[in-house]
Structure 1
Amino acid sequence: MSDRSAPRLTRLLEAVLEVGTDLDLRGTLQHVVDGAAELTGASWAELAIADPARDGLAEIRTPGRGGAPEPAPRLRVPIHVGDEEFGELRLAGRSGDGPFTAEDEQSVRVLATQAGIAIGNARLYETARRRERWIEGAAAVTNALLTEESAGDALTTVAERARLLADATAGVILQPTAEGGMEIVTASTPEDPDGIVGATIAPGSPVLEQLLGGEPVYVTDSATDPRMTTYVRHRFGPSMMLPLRANGRLIGTLALPRRRGDRPYTAVEGLLATQFASQAALALVLADARRGRERLAVYEDRDRIARDLHDLVVQRLFATGMMLESTQRRPGADDVRDVLDRAVDELRSTVREVRTTILALRQPPAGPPTGLRGRVLRETASAAARLGFPPSTHFTGAVDTRVPDRVGDRLLAALRQALSDTAGRPDVTRVEVVVDASAASPDGREGVRLTVFDGGGRAAGGDGGDVAGTTFTWWAPL
């Protein structure tokens, strides 16, 4: 072995060891590129990835030395991972000794062979890590869903956890509408959530047909894909839409869009997200069943209370009233008779109130709110996450029957804007929303009025009054 070969072999062994010590895929590839440049004395090296979507990587480079322009590649060596061509190692600008030699190429091929093994190991490690994170995330979601108080909280939990696991810009939950389309009911995003909730997919959309068939939808660019029809599509780039199915029924869709220009989802990410969506759908159904059982227990307890009130309290009150009435008929002072009259009247009033309470307790459980009233409540519940507290919501008049859909849609848009503006103001500690379907204009026209008032807490160091608030008012004719 020549004196010149010994240092080269040493450098090759060092490069091979460097390549095999990093389990991070990007770090492994950077070691390959840097090692090839060091072995051959190349001033420029690049690893071009054959399938960028496979691992979410396009190319890895060593910058040209001395700020020289990027030269044309003079040495090309492919890298294989098993039977797959992973990419091509390209080198140029060899300094000092002229063009690349056969010995240079042989050294790079040895390094490329080791790189193929290291890339395979790094892929396996990365896949295992991702799978572990998704499994842990699904378990955390299941645990949270089985302890959450409301259906809205459960959907928000799924959207938020999926967004973090997928490294997405937003986590969005859509649910079927009465018209046969789908509507965004929950959106988790650290950026601009305004206007996302309430966006709809029209009935008959190709995307909707796929989802109804239980198939996930993968989109390279939401802004330009003709299948995407929501008015918020221009905000996003790569996306995947995953059906939430349980017991053969589509209960919703989980959408995970990324920013425009971000890398598309890989096949492994799609598979893990699909598995997460399946488990989340089952957890949502179980959580809903748990809430149903809890509601049933509450109503059973209410029925027991009603029976106790009827069997014990009402009967005792009635018996007491009978005794007082019999006392009235006895001869005695008039002032005592007046006191007894008032006592009898009070007892009769109490009996009526208790009976009214018993009837209310025995009413069957009401279904979820529907119509404009339900949509307003859903908007205020969604705003609670941004405000940090739930707004107080009141209705006057026949909101669901008097307000037509077209006016209701405009009212909801105004409400979203008002709540968004409120969430952006500091020191807001309470919000009151009033929808009045009996409001008339100064000229006597019938209409509906929306009022959103926001206020702060007590003024610091002042007279104990409230911090001044802001009132938003919107009116439309019916």
Structure 2
Amino acid sequence: MAEAGRGSGKRPVGPRLEELLNELQTRINTVRGTRERVYNLLDAVLTVGRELDLSQVLRRIVETAVVLVDAEYGALGVISAERESLSEFLTVGMDDAQVARIGALPEGHGILGELIRHPEPLRLAEISDHPASYGFPAGHPPMHSFLGVPIRVRDEVFGNLYLTEKRGGAAFDAEDETVLATLAVAAGVAIENARLYEEARRRQRWLEANAEVTRALLSGDAEARALELIVSSAREILQADLGALALPIPGSDELQVVLAVGLEATAHRGLVLPRVGSFMGGGLRRS
């Protein structure tokens, strides 16, 4: 869907989680559909809450949303830090060839941007009838009906769920909107839980790395070995392509990269950089 016209295995409990769960219960009680649909909604709420890896949580949310409201296409857009565009866009319903034909992922214009600017549920029988719609890129499948809802985490909009093409040619109805809004509340709880879990895992990895470096120093390992361990551990924990260590060159205003680990490490070792105007020099001034 493109722009038409956002360690331990224990599950941490974050702030306001109980309040969010109460809201979720209230929304579930408003669904007046068949028993099967209510069951499917409850199952969906449990499903999105089982994952602890954030990327898997996001994928599971949009996959579940498509099934719940019987949509042919679905997407989840994550809103950027600037709050004006999309930084991530996960899709369901289009194969790799279709995605490749469409080209660059949407950034949040048109109907998609409408939910960024106005984070409230939006339901349309015909996308092209909305003033914010300005068409689809070449290679994009036709889409008519639309349903979008925001996902909030800690009272801040994290992203939006976008569903299009209700199967059978019908339009999305008010109950579809209620069901999707309920899933969005569950999604907010799951995203917050995954974030807390990842934060706990990251803290644990830093503690383990610190202990490993301490053991290396106490055991009499060479300084170079300890420094390499520090850089390697930091690169792994931060999931960086490259980790490098630069030291000041005595009697000059320059730095030299004495250690590099990861992508193109060989090309970076030995580089001489100015203290002023370089990324590493900037880091030294802030330390």
TM bucket normalised to smaller = 0.5 to 0.7
CA contact (8 A) 2:243 2:260 kept: yes
CA distance in 2, matches of 1:122, 1:172: 30
CA distance in 2, matches of 1:73, 1:137: 51
Task: State whether structure 2 residue 257 is matched by structure 1 residue 184.
Answer: yes
Task: State whether structure 2 residue 40 is matched by structure 1 residue 11.
Answer: yes
By relative contact order (CA 8 Å, sep 6+), the higher-ranking structure is: 2
CA contact (8 A) 1:141 1:161 kept: no
The aligned runs of 1:228-267 (5 Å cut-off) are: 243=287
Deviation at 1:151, TM superposition (A): 2.4
CA contact (8 A) 1:25 1:119 kept: yes
TM-score for the superposition, normalised by structure 1: 0.41
Deviation at 1:145, TM superposition (A): 2.6
Deviation at 1:209, TM superposition (A): 5.7
Deviation at 1:210, TM superposition (A): 3.5
CA contact (8 A) 1:76 1:89 kept: yes
* Counterpart residue type for residue 88 of structure 2: A
CA distance in 2, matches of 1:166, 1:208: 17
Identity of aligned residues (%): 34
Residue ranges of structure 2 left out of the alignment (5+ in a row): 1-30, 99-139
CA distance in 2, matches of 1:3, 1:175: 66
CA distance in 1, matches of 2:228, 2:273: 20
Task: State whether structure 2 residue 78 is matched by structure 1 residue 63.
Answer: no
Task: State whether structure 2 residue 76 is matched by structure 1 residue 47.
Answer: yes
- Secondary structure, counterpart of 1:187 in structure 2: strand
CA contact (8 A) 2:77 2:87 kept: no
Deviation at 1:109, TM superposition (A): 0.6
The verdict on how the C-alpha distance between 1:70 and 1:118 changes in structure 2, with shifts beyond 3 A counting, is farther
The aligned runs of 1:386-405 (5 Å cut-off) are: none
CA distance in 1, matches of 2:157, 2:191: 12
Alignment equivalent of 2:200, drawn from 116, 124, 128? 128
- Secondary structure, counterpart of 1:43 in structure 2: strand
Q: Which whole-Å deviations, capped at 9, do the CAs of 1:420-452 have from their partners, x for residues lacking one?
A: xxxxxxxxxxxxxxxxxxxxxxxxxxxxxxxxx
Deviation at 1:91, TM superposition (A): 0.4
The aligned runs of 1:372-387 (5 Å cut-off) are: none
The verdict on how the C-alpha distance between 1:209 and 1:130 changes in structure 2, with shifts beyond 3 A counting, is closer
Task: State whether structure 2 residue 197 is matched by structure 1 residue 167.
Answer: no
Residue ranges of structure 1 left out of the alignment (5+ in a row): 216-242, 244-478
Alignment equivalent of 2:49, drawn from 9, 13, 20? 20
The verdict on how the C-alpha distance between 1:129 and 1:73 changes in structure 2, with shifts beyond 3 A counting, is farther
CA distance in 1, matches of 2:274, 2:152: 46
Structure 2 equivalent of residue 77 of structure 1? 149
The aligned runs of 1:186-335 (5 Å cut-off) are: 186-189=259-262, 191-205=263-277, 207=279, 210-213=282-285, 215=286, 243=287
Deviation at 1:169, TM superposition (A): 2.2
CA contact (8 A) 2:246 2:257 kept: yes
TM-score for the superposition, normalised by structure 2: 0.65
The verdict on how the C-alpha distance between 1:3 and 1:127 changes in structure 2, with shifts beyond 3 A counting, is closer
CA distance in 2, matches of 1:107, 1:171: 46
CA distance in 1, matches of 2:279, 2:90: 36
What RMSD over aligned residues (CA atoms) do the two structures have, in Å? Answer: 3.0
* Counterpart residue type for residue 118 of structure 1: A
Between Structure 1 and Structure 2, how many residues are aligned? 212
